[in-house]
Amino acid sequence: MKQLNPSIKHHTLIGALLSVWIFLFAFFVRPFEHGNMDFQIWMAVSIGFSLMAFLCYGVITLLQRFVYSRTSKWNVGLEILCLVVFFLLYLVGTYLYYKGSLVRGNYSFYEFFHKIIIRIALILTPVMVLARRYSIKLIPAKGDDITIKGENKLDILKIKQSDLICISNSQNYVEIFFLEKDELRSKLIRASLKKIQDEFDFLIKVHRSHLINPSHFKSWKDPSTISLTQIELPVSKNYKERILSL
């Protein structure tokens, strides 16, 4: 797993799913001191253990969001760590509840871990893994729109990245060439070519005065000129190798 869905909303739904799953498991399988609990305590255990799963997963949701916001990265190791932390929290929380005045369970900590938590982990882990993997598919796709801003407040152009063809230097301005309904358009914005290149790293420099969107590269017209969509640009020797690699 190389990605994480940081959405609180989506992970709250996963927590609710885990809570329901634990309730059904506890209520129908009843893996707690068979025959020693009346119906009232049985319900208390089922509800308490399911709510504890929801709360523990809520803690994990906040922790993983914090880590992800700091690193912008996720991997299998962090995913496994989340599962381990969840079950450690769940073990402590449910044992304290189990030994409390409401349930008054008879299992020792070792018995509780061996006879209850391991069973819960076996039936809960696959659900958690599948739900978390599915949540990645719910991440909204990044839009294709980009916004190019200049020094003046009115210097702004919002277009699709796929429609941007190239950007050329024009004294204190840059001229942006783009497609609009399959027709070539251009717009002058007061900005430096370097600023534009730093902001949009997908652009490639082919000349000290020109940046191109490589997706619009068509062919070489001659050794020093390239053809883009509806426009041609010169290529400097210093940048020729980069274009040859496209």
Q: Which domains does the chain have, with CATH numbers?
A: 8-136 (no CATH), 145-244 (2.40.50.1020)
Query: Mean pLDDT across the stretch 223-244?
Result: 91
Distance between CA atoms of 208 and 236, rounded to whole angstroms? 8
- pLDDT for res 45: 84
Higher pLDDT, 141 or 63: 63
- pLDDT for res 20: 94
pLDDT above 60 for 151: yes
Contact 191, 200 (CB under 8 A): no
Q: Please state whether the predicted TM-score (pTM) of the whole model is above 0.95.
A: no
- pLDDT for res 36: 62
Q: Is the alpha carbon torsion for 98, 38, 107, 22 positive or negative?
A: negative
pLDDT digits (tens, 9 = 90+) for 10-58: 999 999 999 999 998 877 776 655 556 677 888 888 899 999 999 999 9
pLDDT digits (tens, 9 = 90+) for 84-112: 999 999 999 999 998 988 888 888 899 89
- pLDDT for res 33: 53
